[in-house]
Structure formats: C-alpha cells, structure tokens
Amino acid sequence: MTDYHDMWKELGIDLDAHDGLLEVLPPMYEENILSQEGRPGGMEYFDFVFSEVHGLRIKELVEHREAGAVVVGTFCTYVPEELIIAAGGICVGLCAGAQVAAEEAEKYLPRNICALIKSSLGFKLAKVCPYIESCDLLVGETTCDGKKKYFEMLGELQPVHIMEVPQMKLEHDRDLWRKEIRRMLERMEEMTGKKIGEKQIRDAIRLVNEKRKALLRLEELRKSDPPVISGRDALLIDQIAFYDDPARLTEKINALCDELEERKKAGVSIGGAHRPRILLSGCPMALPNWKVATLIETSGAVVAMDEMCTGIRYFDNLVEEDAADTEALLDNIADRYLNIHCAIFTPNRERIEHIKQLVEDYDIDAVVHYSLQFCDPYTVEAFSVQREMEKEGVPFLYLETDYSSEDTGQLTTRIQALIEMVGCAEKA
Amino acid sequence: MTIAGLDIGSRTIALVEMDGGGIRHSEVVETTFDPLEQCRVLLEDRGFDLLVATGYGRHLAQANFADRTITEIKAFALGCHEFFPECRTILDIGGQDTKAISLAPGGKVADFQMNDRCAAGTGKFLEVMAAAMGLSLEEMGRIALETEAEVKISSMCTVFAESEVTGLIARGTPRPEIARGLHEAICDRAVSLLKRVGVKREVVFAGGVARNPCLRSLLEHRLGVPLLVPENPQIVGALGAALSANTS
Ligand code: SF4
Ligand code: SF4
C-alpha cells in the first residue's frame, strides 16, 4: 500500500485523528460489504475504489489542481455537476455518513440537528476529510433550514457559494432556478477566470448523462427476482458515484451490468432463500452509512430499490441534450434538476407517486422509510407516505435513527418483524 | 415432540415447554446482568427436542443454544392468539419496549408499532419513577389507585420526568397524585401507539406491566373497551415462541 501521509499533511489533515478514522473503515467494510455472499465479480473495482477512498482518488484531485483546475464540493443532488465539469472542474459529493467529532460539532450546533449536518461539521472541524480540504469552492443550497444555517458557519472556514433552491415548483420558481443556474455558471467562470462555452456545457451534459444511463441500467437489473446484486452493493455504487471519475465509473458500471445480464440469463443470484423485496425510501445514506441496508439484508430480505438521494433521486431523468444554444442547454439543466422530488418541496406529491410507481415496477413487498432523527422534511413527510402506502395495502415500516449503533437491537426487531409479516402473507 | 419457547426480555426470562397436550411447564426468572447464565439455570435438566428463542436476547440465545429465533412481535401475536382466539389488537408494555400489534382475523400480524429508541412509555419509565419516589413498582401501582386527583407529568422523557417528579415531591404534592399522573403519562403513550395500528376488539394487554391494575383501568377507560389480560401475562412471548415451531 502506498503511503499517503505526506499528501494528507499537505492538505492540512490531522494525521493522528485521520489514522484513527482509517482504522475503523476496513472492519466496517468487511462486516457490511465484503462479508456478503454471491457478490458479482464486477464489484472488485468498487471495492478497490473504496479501499483508496482517501488515497488514490485524493491523489487524482491533487494532480488535477496542480494542473491548474479546480475541485468543487457539493452537499445535495440539486447542485448541477454539469456546471462544475464544464468549467474543467471535478465535482465531489461531500459525504458525512459516519459520526465524527460530534462533541466538537456541538460547540457550534445544537444537539438536535440531523446527523448529516452534525457529522459534516465534525469532519471539517476534526480535519479528517481530505475531500473537503481539497475543495476550491463549496456549493451549498437553501434546502432545509439546518443546512442553510450550517453553510453560514462553513462560509467562515472556506469559500462557499449558495444556490437558492426554490421550495415550490411554480412558474416563477422555475424562473428563479434558471437564474440560479446562470449565477452558478458565472461563479465558476469567475473562479477559473475562463469563459465557459457551449461546447464545454454540451460535453459535460453528455458525460453526466452517460453516468446516469449506466446507473439507470443497473437499477433496471435490480428488478430481477431472485436478485442478481444486493441492495448494499448497489448503494455502495451510488455512494461512490458522488466522488469517482465519471467517465471511468460509467465504464465500470456498464461492465458490471454486462456481467449482471449474464447472471440473470444463467439464473445466478446473490443466493439465500426467497427474499422479500424492500424499497428503502427517505434521507440520503452517505458513505459509509450502510447500517439499515445491512440490517435488512442480513435479516433475509433484499433492498430491491432505493428512493433516496443516494439512489434513484440522484440519477433519474436525463438532461435533454437536444438544444439550440447555450441558453437552451442551461434551461434544460435547470429543468432536470427541478424535477427531483425532495421533501424540502411543498407540495411534494410527486415523491409519493414515484414511490407508488417503484413499488409496482420493482414488485416490492414492503417499504422501509428511513429518516434521520431531527430531519423535519423527511420525518414529517413520512406520515403522508405511510398513509398512502396503507391505502395501497403496502406494508410500511418507519425507522428514525442516526449514525450511532446503540439502537441496532431495536431496529433489528422491527425489521425482522416486518420480514416475518410479509413472509407470512406470501405463504397465506 | 416437546418444544421449548424462551423469551429473553430485559427484565425477565420466561420458559414455556409444550408437548402434544399443551403447556407442560412454565417458569419465569429475573434477567439480571448475566442473562446467559440465567438461561442455563432455567434450562438445566429440562428435556425438549427443539428450542425457539425470542425477545431482545434472542440473538445471544441463537449464538449459544437456541435452534431458531423469532421476533417478539410474532411471538406475542402467536401467544395472545392462543390464549384469546378472538384477539385482534395487542398491547405489550415490556421493560424496554412498548409495542402495539394488530392481528388479521386468523392471528397473523397485520401491522405493528414500537416506541422510539428511548425508554419513554415503557416499563423502565415506571421503574425509574418508582425509584425516584422511594416506592416499589407494586406499591406505586397500588397508591395510584387511591386517588382521583391527578397531576400532569408533561415530560415523557425518563430523564426530564424524573426531575419533574423530584420537583413535585419537593413541593409537597401527595405521592398518590404523582403516581397517578405517571400512570396517565404512560397510558397516553400506549394509547397513541395503539391508535396508530387501530384498536379492534378483542384487545389483549400482555407483558409484565399488564399486571398493574391502575394502568389497566386507565387504559380501559381511555379506550372504552375491556382489556383481556392473560392469567400469566409474562409467559405470552415464550408460549408464542414454542407455538411457532408448528406454524413454520
Ligand atoms: S434529501 Fe433533499 S436536501 Fe438532501 S441531498 Fe437530497 S435533494 Fe438535497
Ligand atoms: S437529512 Fe434532513 S435535516 Fe439533514 S440535511 Fe438532509 S434534509 Fe436537512
């Protein structure tokens, strides 16, 4: 293994704390991911990428910056990576899926704030995230209140650009959002000192669309019953898609999909007895948050689909490539992103309709709604989702948790009871 | 064939042994700090062909001696259905968890709800409060029946409620009133869980806390339906575990 300590030191990482973090990751990965049986061979690439999460990929970012280009960090699937790529930049989703330096973060944040925000600040304060330290700019957004206020704090530590995400989807919201796309483009131009031309935008759209198509192809294969890939492996790929090189990633996902198609034909599955099919829906599960997915799958079910931002919300719908000029391209980008159905919107009927559609398309036996504790948008919206699922006769389990592991016993009981319940129903 | 069901809860461990003729043996012990050792004592010299474990310690049992496990949700559904075939709704207030289960007519689980991760609204809550008042659980349940007057305990959080209780004692509020207020608080919590799964008759109240007469009467009053309580509410889970061997 290459020694990256000098590189991390350059980036200002707290080496001791960081070594500590790197020590806990491999056993976690072993327990949640590697220990699964019947994994496709194509997962090898993703295992490698994860093993180099703070190594090789960071080296690529460093080299990219040495060549005079920028790295931009984002926190939400609303921020269009096309604009970053068009500016010659690399876009990295800043994960915060593990609890780090919570006490430190609580000096600046109330205790009752969602784990995503708390650990994001924890990573920053503890200086253990080489991604955020590699960023020339962070792009925040006005989604939930917690994040809005958090970005003000972050802005004191690092340059931050905020996009105003509307809260409704009316005509003037669309206008606002289209303007915000242009304002972000200007910020990118200002930062790089280079004008972004039509060709760069076009190429970026195509590149990201290809990534989406590959991810959608993978989702299509998750319809197979018995499953040819586990929900955890699919989740891992979605998580990695936020920071890996898009062209390379697309190629690797497609290669994996070729293999999965072969598996499907040959009747090879991830093994085990008949697995009830679960749809996971709710807050994002940032790397390395596999807690709930692992509990579901080690209890004998399969996560057949994810309605989350680390799931279909991230790559559903392409940006329309057919456009006359730059202005039209930018509008197309805006429209694609405005069509994400996050709970910060009101009304957000589309999300419920989407969940219903997924339940049907993926032959789902039960929906597990995952909310992070203290996340108002999703904990509140869960009630509407539940009501709708009851109407449809779809078994529904509501889980509210965070990044700690102290509640795994209780979560396991609920998940297993749900699986017993849908398992029984099937036999009856 | 003799089948044993073992329910390892946070407060008690129950064993039920069944053969063709029904329950042939049952026993309940405290969980203590060493549940595994308690199980060994309980199972010593007993003869059975198959052991099914349930409850919060089921994984521990699985790793050591149990043949199978089921969740306490399924176990309570089976156990209550056995005692009361018309049962459609179950309330179980245990040491750590409170659960409401709704059953389909044949006894299968149709829906369930459990309390959040904290101990609010569980047996643990009552235990902590009894200790704060210097009473045993039974005494607290008894004195709560002595009064109609009630003080409102507004915190459901065990930690906050404890300081609320301390404050009330300091202000000279009679203990029966505080005790009654605490029971009301638990009752509120249980009713809201029950409402989420829907309250259909017959309603069975199981688990250790079902023995508490004050809570029972408060619940009946609030729900407007009589509650059926098994003769020995603590063995329902273990009975269900044993019964599960024949159903799956
Ligand atoms: S859940 Fe909403 S706010 Fe969070 S990343 Fe997704 S779109 Fe953004
Ligand atoms: S999980 Fe909820 S509260 Fe947390 S950042 Fe996302 S939308 Fe905001």
Reported as a single tens digit per residue, the pLDDT across B206-235 is 987 888 888 999 999 999 999 999 988 889
Q: What is chain A's mean pLDDT, rounded?
A: 95
Whether residues B244 and B163 fall in one domain: no
How confident is the model over A117-138, as a mean pLDDT?
95
Q: What is the model's pLDDT at position B157?
A: 72
Reported as a single tens digit per residue, the pLDDT across A361-408 is 999 999 999 999 999 999 999 999 999 999 999 999 999 999 998 889
Q: What is the model's pLDDT at position B247?
A: 66
Whether residues B77 and B110 fall in one domain: no
A165 alpha carbon, closest ligand:
1
User: Do the chains contact at B56 and A409, CB–CB below 8 Å?
Assistant: yes
Please give all residues whose beta carbon lies within 6 A of any atom in ligand 2, as ranges.
A 114, 116-117, 143-144, 146-147, 283, 372, 375, 377-378
Whether residues B34 and B111 fall in one domain: no
Whether residues B6 and B93 fall in one domain: no
Whether residues B200 and B234 fall in one domain: no
pLDDT at B118 over 70: no
In angstroms, the separation between the Cα of residue B68 and the nearest Cα of chain A is: 13
**A424 — pLDDT class (breaks 50, 70, 90):** low
Which CATH number covers residue B122?
3.30.420.40
- The number of folded domains in chain B is 2
Whether residues B93 and B210 fall in one domain: yes
Ligand 1 contacts CB of residue A342 (under 6 A): yes
In angstroms, the separation between the Cα of residue A415 and the nearest Cα of chain B is: 9
Per the structure block, which two tokens stand in for B22? 């029904």
Whether residues B102 and B210 fall in one domain: yes
User: Do the chains contact at B116 and A400, CB–CB below 8 Å?
Assistant: yes
What's the domain range around A322? Answer: 5-427
If one counts every other C-beta atom within 10 angstroms of the C-beta of residue B38, the result is: 18
pLDDT at B248 over 60: no
User: Do the chains contact at B71 and A413, CB–CB below 8 Å?
Assistant: yes
Q: Tell whether A413 is within 8 A of chain B (Cβ).
A: yes
- The number of folded domains in chain A is 1
Give the residue, out of A372, A374, A403, with the most ligand 2 atoms within 8 A of its beta carbon, to mutate for a pocket test.
A372
Q: What is the model's pLDDT at position A271?
A: 82
Whether residues B142 and B115 fall in one domain: yes
Which residues in chain B have Cβ-Cβ distances shorter than 8 Å to A409?
56
CB contact at 8 A, A35 and A297: no
Whether residues B4 and B111 fall in one domain: no
Whether residues B141 and B179 fall in one domain: yes
Whether residues B17 and B126 fall in one domain: no
Reported as a single tens digit per residue, the pLDDT across A239-289 is 999 999 999 999 999 999 999 999 999 999 998 778 999 999 999 999 999
Kindly report which listed range (A72-81, A351-360, B53-62) carries the lowest average pLDDT score.
Answer: B53-62
pLDDT at A426 over 50: no
What's the domain range around B211? Answer: 86-229
Whether residues B113 and B169 fall in one domain: yes
In this complex, the residue of A400, A407, A428 whose CB is nearest that of residue B108 is A428
Q: What is the model's pLDDT at position A359?
A: 98
- ipTM of the predicted structure? 0.83
